[in-house]
């Protein structure tokens, strides 16, 4: 019901139909002494001004839209609302209709943003826009390591040596190794694992069985040529007692061209010499393959 400004008779009639009693009491406290009446009041703006405006666009090829604004203003009331609608008439095979629809979507999006601004208030929208931060695009990931054929793991046999390579996250781990087992118990007697990025040198670990005199270390011999010095044990783990080894560019050619790597140690209980032999068949190819896989 619209009431014209200054129409006191119409206002009095509307108030008599829609007003509720302005006094009441809580039912639970009806019989308590000193139970005061509740006075409920609500202010009603008079006069209350309403404003409405609309715009309708009829484009070509059956594409159109309409935007409407409604507002109410009084001493205590301020209301803003906006709405938008569109209409599209499709025609088979018409490229213009599809182009008009795309354009129409842009108009509807603008109208929807206008409605949000009118309802929430322009200052709030401006503050939100100012405070918003656009998340930076994540930096492109570094080139992931790869193996031939896109495999995640690789194992190759080169004579008596094995090349193993696998992708672990962003790392590529490759090595060449040789292991020996007891034929009766199938327990591992010794193992050696090396790695090389150039193929000219190699570093790694030698694992020997328990029961050796750790304080005396071990010595290495390639065929008949004994290497200088001795190597110390580092620690003992479940796999055996570990000896770090490193072969430089002077020793690596001897391993590539040799036939046997001999390890000399001593038994802990008797003190007698104990020898282990590792065949070098395939060592040169395994070393070169490991370096090749690590370089790619």
189-216 per-position pLDDT tens digit? 999 999 999 999 999 999 999 999 999 9
Sheet-wide strand order for 188-195: 153-158, 161-168, 171-181, 188-195, 202-208, 240-247, 235-237
Contact 267, 213 (CB under 8 A): yes
In this predicted structure, what is the pLDDT of residue 112?
45
Which tens digits make up the pLDDT trace of 152-196?
A: 899 999 999 999 999 888 889 999 999 999 888 888 999 999 999
What topology does CATH give the domain 148-295? Immunoglobulin-like (2.60.40)
Residues 230-283 have pLDDT tens digits of 999 999 998 899 999 999 999 999 999 999 999 999 999 999 999 999 999 999
Domain ranges of the chain: 8-131, 148-295
pLDDT in tens, 27-60: 444 444 444 444 444 455 566 677 777 777 776 6
What pLDDT, in 10s, does the model give residues 56-97?
777 666 677 777 777 777 766 666 777 777 766 655 444 444
63-73 and 78-88 strand pairing: antiparallel
Q: Using 50, 70 and 90 to split pLDDT, how confident is the model at 228?
A: very high
Q: Across residues 127-151, what is the average pLDDT?
A: 57
Instruction: Give pLDDT, residue 186.
Output: 87
Residue, of 202 and 145, whose pLDDT is higher: 202
Query: Which secondary-structure segment (H or E) carries 220?
Result: strand 219-222
Sequence-separated (6 or more) residues with CB below 8 Å from residue 5: 46, 47, 49
* pTM > 0.85: no
Higher pLDDT: 16 or 244? It is 244
Residue 37's pLDDT is what?
42
Most confident of 106-115, 143-152, 286-295: 286-295
Listed range (18-22, 48-52, 80-84, 217-221) with the worst mean pLDDT:
18-22
Residue 253: per-residue pLDDT? 96
With 90 as the cut, is the pLDDT of residue 289 above it?
Answer: yes
Residue 149, pLDDT score: 79
Residue 83 confidence (pLDDT): 72
Note the pLDDT of residue 120. Answer: 42
Note the pLDDT of residue 89: 60
CB atoms within 10 A of CB 194: 24
Three-state secondary-structure class, residue 163: strand
Q: Are strands 161-168 and 153-158 parallel, antiparallel or unpaired?
A: antiparallel
Q: State which H helix or E strand residue 87 sits in.
A: strand 78-88
- Taking the mean position of all CA atoms in its chain, how far away is CA 156? 34
């Amino acid at each position: 019901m619209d009431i014209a400004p200054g129409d006191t008779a119409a206002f009095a009639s509307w108030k008599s139909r829609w007003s509720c009693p302005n006094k009441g009491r809580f039912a639970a406290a009806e019989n308590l002494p000193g139970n005061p009446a509740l006075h409920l009041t609500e202010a009603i703006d008079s006069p209350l001004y309403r404003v409405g405006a609309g715009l309708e666009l009829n484009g070509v090829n059956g594409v159109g839209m309409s935007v409407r604004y409604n507002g109410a203003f009084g001493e205590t009331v301020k209301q803003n609302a906006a709405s938008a609608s569109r209409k599209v008439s499709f025609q088979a095979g018409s490229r213009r209709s599809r182009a008009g629809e795309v354009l129409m979507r842009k108009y509807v999006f603008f109208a929807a943003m206008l409605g949000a601004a009118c309802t929430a208030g322009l200052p709030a929208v401006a503050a939100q826009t100012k405070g918003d931060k656009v998340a930076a695009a994540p930096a492109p990931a570094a080139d992931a390591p790869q193996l031939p054929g896109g495999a995640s793991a690789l194992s190759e046999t080169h004579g008596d040596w094995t090349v193993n390579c696998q992708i672990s996250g962003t790392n590529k781990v490759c090595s060449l190794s040789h292991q020996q087992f007891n034929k009766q118990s199938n327990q591992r007697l010794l193992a050696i694992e090396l790695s090389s990025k150039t193929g000219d040198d190699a570093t790694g670990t030698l694992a020997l069985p328990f029961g050796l005199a750790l304080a005396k270390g071990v010595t290495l011999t390639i065929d008949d040529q004994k290497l200088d010095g001795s190597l110390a044990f580092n620690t003992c783990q479940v796999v055996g007692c570990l000896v770090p080894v490193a072969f430089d560019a002077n020793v690596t050619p001897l391993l590539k061209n040799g036939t046997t790597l001999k390890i000399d140690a001593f038994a802990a209980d008797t003190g007698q010499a104990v020898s282990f032999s590792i065949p070098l068949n395939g060592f040169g190819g395994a070393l070169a393959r490991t370096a090749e896989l690590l370089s790619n």
